[in-house]
Amino acid sequence: MNFLVERSSKTSPEDWRRLQQEREGLVRQLSAEKEAHQKTQEDNRGLRQEKSRLEEQVRHSQFCIEKKCLQFSVGNVGISV
């Protein structure tokens, strides 16, 4: 009886190989996921920088439009139709 318990608790070489292959596959998958995550973070960082740049461009354009409108309205005050 003791022999059967000892034998059942040992891992067969085929099971050991299968577990090693599964582990290697999981390590590769984790590595690929980490790379994909890093690339996504880099892309996100670039998009945030682009967004900030465009928002600044919009603010500048709005300022210029408001300034031109003020100049136009001040310049046209003395004109009568």
Which run of H or of E encompasses 47? helix 13-75
d(CA 38, CA 7): 46
d(CA 59, CA 52): 11
Q: What is the pLDDT of residues 23-76, one digit of tens each?
A: 999 999 999 999 999 999 999 999 999 999 999 999 999 988 888 877 766 665
Domain ranges of the chain: 11-73
